[in-house]
Chains A and B, each alone.
Chain A
Amino acid sequence: DAEITQSPRHKITETGRQVTLACHQTWNHNNMFWYRQDLGHGLRLIHYSYGVHDTNKGEVSDGYSVSRSNTEDLPLTLESAASSQTSVYFCASSEQNTYNEQFFGPGTRLTVL
């Protein structure tokens, strides 16, 4: 069965360290997204990609970067982790048609101390 996975599921790091969160999907979807979810806020878009070598900034992209070298993977990098980046991070993917539903990975809980 096709799926979308994220790793690690839990991560504790220190302020200033570089952290990379992995996202891998086997749906063969062109569109991939990274969100963060914090209490009292809706999901907020960090970065998104509509295909290989395409990346775009979302609403809250400062301090984050992504790269898309193949269809299956969209890793999210925190260049220098800050306590404000403590959050739950969700990766999602969807088919090329923008009206299609997004399928979400299980999430990564990141704590920055």
Chain B
Amino acid sequence: GAGVSQSPSNKVTEKGKDVELRCDPISGHTALYWYRQRLGQGLEFLIYFQGNSAPDKSGLPSDRFSAERTGESVSTLTIQRTQQEDSAVYLCASSPQWGLLNTEAFFGQGTRLTVV
């Protein structure tokens, strides 16, 4: 597709279950980013990939969160043992290269995660 695609668009899960969120970036985009927005909060940076390498994982909220990227394509964000505070809209973005000096990031429509 032409844009960043995320799936599922909505996910309701029970507390304690694991969830996997998927992001398909724009073809050829080297950099990929994960963000989330909890209710009433700003857009919170989680992790980024340069190719399939994630140099800085310090933005991940806890060790229950992990992310992987295959080559320069699909990325998955996994949340283990979900908690209610994990409820949020999870956004993925990609950009042609690392270093957003003269290029924008292109966002997907997000996955709305609700932990009940």
Tell me if chain B binds chain A: no
